[in-house]
Structure 1
């Protein structure tokens, strides 16, 4: 059993809730008999470098304190290793935690689950997506949703679902179909006009939007949701259904399943786990059982 825990902290997550949550999480883990070491960087690159060095001996579990961005950063260090990952979700979206059934905005409860899971060696093996050397756990967004994500990241007020809802409304003025080219599992490229294409390892992003509502974390495939060209009126009418995943039966929506997907489109940036991956074209592949999560 792992006795050491690396507490990977984002002090700015959720407008400071990351720093506030680190105390209760550390207390709960220490009370359970674990040695806790904090890992905090001055920026993302520094934090990841420190985490990789701290985890290099392989005898510690990693617990990410923050939102999906912090979980995504931790994945870069623990993916395909024997180091298990715990999550104390206190960020804006927290969709990875939701996907594995972990508490949100309750650091003590989340830390107790981590402690119990370590003691009982209760680790769930889940898939990850990979684009080049970059791993992701939730959804790769491209098109209208990536622009919404970008705007939400720039907002300094509101949080969670409200932040993404407001960002979506603000981006409606730019709504237009994007000329994508898409290839699934190495097949021929197809030209597709779409409002957005979302590649789901998990089911949700943006604080509970189930854009890829049928996605499973352990089936070895992505769920790829294609929202075709639609008017602002149609988008506003369908959008509330995204939180339950019932938008998937709308005529403008199609869903594909594949282990690899290549997307290209002019002027589109891909986002995953709430962070920019880079400009399309991008190729994403599913890596089955890439990380063990403490649940």
Structure 2
């Protein structure tokens, strides 16, 4: 194996929890469709509840340990033994466990998820679905096979092979929406959607229909999620600055607009959202 592609494992301990996180550089052929791939295990002295923020990605959790709880908008918990897929959403999600969790988190681009799972992403938008319900018969039981592998590199090899095989089998044309998504990402969500439709020669209605199938949400909501994603990364890794300066930097009308957007996506104030960023699992 290329030594640059070996898994990097970090271990940490804080607040009564012990973490192990494994990451590895993605092969070039998958980078257009995969935003991130990591392995994780956590042991905590007490039950844990976390608030996950919405981002422009489809999250796939493949679980080796006890299934975590995923809470719906009313706070009702559900468990998905073996793992689940969470489609694009415009609202936060709360997840919890009773003291232990382990598995692999795969963050797919929306188009990557459309190709890998072969279903219209409108069926996943705002929903959490059991992983096995979306896998072809030949790939069901993926969690059990991964858990039996001896180390993170073997597990990553299996996940990457699964993704590559599904992409090779896909026959859906996604070039037009891929071009539009690249424009939205390049502008950090600031692109004019009406102009984008005109450049493609489509009506706004037709572009929205394409996005609902290939992405799961209309292009305007994707643009908002992309802008929020850029803001989150700025808050996590950029220099400290004022909320007014951030509003101007990311194209919000004013600080009040930025505050409304953060509250809508996270359910908390901007200051509280910043404090929660260090505890995100689905990032």
TM-score (structure 1 length as normaliser): 0.23
From the two aligned structures, give the one with the greater strand fraction: 1
From the two aligned structures, give the one with the greater helix fraction: 2
